[in-house]
Structure 1
């Protein structure tokens, strides 16, 4: 099967003088446009919901959960639409990275991959006695779905088909992999209970999403993997997700065992900041990137 990883070689990214700089400028502009598209459309959706219900819109956090879920879905669709339209216009090409024919299968496979990987991490921690898992009443689902969709779409579009792709266009695939993974880990240092070790664990796992993008040429499987990972970690197992508790509310609760070092239990940051996560994430990254390498997906980008 032919996989087209389109980096852009026409329009603003036509080969020639300063293309590396043009790619970096376009990276910033495209990222800003996509974030603005998501936020403006999500807020507009919530305002319409508030207007329809006869209430005043105050903030996203104060809106009903079902309205916020719908706002995230509409915001995500708008963000993807703005990406497609602006890339088609500025780069003068088709958008295979958003090819719709494999949308549902890619998302489904990605959800399974992400869910299995994080369940393996938490399962290993539970077997080792580093975390305790107990049953809890189910209190919410829509909020976790909203958080999972939002984090998956925004982060994968930005990190995969904007930052990684355009860094690849500017500097090559290996520098793009290293820089985008480092950026992803570094940004999470702003989260509650974040540590340098937690950031390193996230960097180790970035090869999973990158590998899926390289193997398919599309962003959908990476989005599904990210959403499945966060949903299973936060809702199903009830643990912190990168230091955040917004995903909780499912059938289980996973907490660090008293006296166990945070490097083993994940501490307040959650299972992603543990030796189990570092090992499994790094192993999975090596597998997906290794398969991509064997299939020639790391080939020079000069003719793409």
Structure 2
């Protein structure tokens, strides 16, 4: 059957996702604001993944990485990892005298912004890691499959205001980072927790997130200093400290995934290995 091939299932996933979004995009319903787009994107990718996994792959949605086992623990671990990295980076900014808090900025808007951040980050992890990376990995193996989703993740941020070469490279590395979280745990909760916490904490600190204001600021703050270090108007991801901090974490996740035996070989290598196993020829003759 044609749809057995991961690439065919990936194309079907994209078609269903686009088909669900087009009517809303044409009419402007849920598409006129960032929060509306987040709701629409999240709902469309969740339905598309459910259809592909349930009716084509004939597996539960948990196969995408949404199983309930360890969900809360992984969400909190991902959030803690992002908070720890940001704490180190923001300590550097404060010690250097570049980050200045001017006052508090509390309000109900923070709860609404947080909900939108959760939906937007969850959509990206479902689409890029639960959909694109998962299916490419089944075909190309782990290492080759890391490339395309990370590149598309970075390209998807190029239209953001104040993009720089450093921000593009950092976003690429961040795409590899969250994909390796999925590889290590074979679940989406760890990358979702890390992604949500990263975006929310930066916004709460009064900083732009990938060039955007997410309206979740708890304080009014300014950032001065060299843009190559502070990120300038794009935010921290356009500065060297974030990139430098992410690289060893990516390396650690890669080594841990290898040690845990979670790295997949390309499909053709797996098929070749199965064909050369003892008894394979005999089994093929019996089946023939």
Give your verdict on TM over 0.5.
yes
**Match for residue 205 of structure 1?**
174
Whether 2:153 is the aligned partner of 1:170: answer no
Larger-gyration structure (1/2): 2
Worse-matched range after superposition: 201-210 or 266-275: 201-210
User: Which ranges in structure 1 are unaligned for 5 or more consecutive residues?
Assistant: 1-9, 14-18, 44-56
Cα offset, 1:249, TM superposition? 2.8
Q: C-alpha separation between the residues in 2 aligned to 1:119 and 1:34?
A: 37
Whether 2:248 is the aligned partner of 1:265: answer no
TM-score by length of 2: 0.79
Q: C-alpha separation between the residues in 2 aligned to 1:75 and 1:110?
A: 22
Q: C-alpha separation between the residues in 1 aligned to 2:236 and 2:183?
A: 27
Q: C-alpha separation between the residues in 2 aligned to 1:29 and 1:279?
A: 38
After TM superposition, list the pairs within 5 Å mapping 1:62-73 onto structure 2: 72=39
Cα deviation, 1:92-149, whole Å, max 9, x if unaligned, reads 3343322123333322222222232233322222223343333322132123213311
After TM superposition, list the pairs within 5 Å mapping 1:147-186 onto structure 2: 147-186=116-155
**Match for residue 111 of structure 2?**
142
Q: C-alpha separation between the residues in 2 aligned to 1:173 and 1:25?
A: 18
Cα deviation, 1:60-97, whole Å, max 9, x if unaligned, reads 5579x8xx69x83x974674354123212112334332
Whether 2:13 is the aligned partner of 1:30: answer yes
Cα offset, 1:38, TM superposition? 7.2
Cα offset, 1:152, TM superposition? 1.1
Structure number with higher helix proportion: 2
Judged with a 3 Å threshold, the aligned counterparts in structure 2 of structure 1 residues 99 and 34 are, in CA distance, closer, same or farther, namely farther
Q: C-alpha separation between the residues in 2 aligned to 1:98 and 1:62?
A: 27
Q: C-alpha separation between the residues in 2 aligned to 1:200 and 1:107?
A: 26
TM-score by length of 1: 0.75
After TM superposition, list the pairs within 5 Å mapping 1:111-260 onto structure 2: 111-139=79-107, 140-234=109-203, 236-250=204-218, 252-257=219-224, 260=225
Cα deviation, 1:188-226, whole Å, max 9, x if unaligned, reads 111011112101011122232112211211112211111
Q: C-alpha separation between the residues in 2 aligned to 1:27 and 1:228?
A: 28
Q: C-alpha separation between the residues in 2 aligned to 1:39 and 1:154?
A: 17
Judged with a 3 Å threshold, the aligned counterparts in structure 2 of structure 1 residues 214 and 39 are, in CA distance, closer, same or farther, namely farther
Cα offset, 1:32, TM superposition? 4.3
Cα offset, 1:11, TM superposition? 7.5
SS in 2 for 1:98: coil
Q: C-alpha separation between the residues in 1 aligned to 2:31 and 2:44?
A: 17
Contact map agreement 1:152 1:227 (CA 8 A) in 2 = yes
SS in 1 for 2:157: helix
Moved over 4 A (4+): 35-40, 57-63
Contact map agreement 1:147 1:247 (CA 8 A) in 2 = no
Q: How many residues align?
A: 265
Q: C-alpha separation between the residues in 2 aligned to 1:117 and 1:162?
A: 27
1:281 pairs with 240, 243, 246, which one? 246
Q: C-alpha separation between the residues in 2 aligned to 1:126 and 1:178?
A: 35
Worse-matched range after superposition: 129-138 or 193-202: 129-138
Q: C-alpha separation between the residues in 1 aligned to 2:114 and 2:156?
A: 22
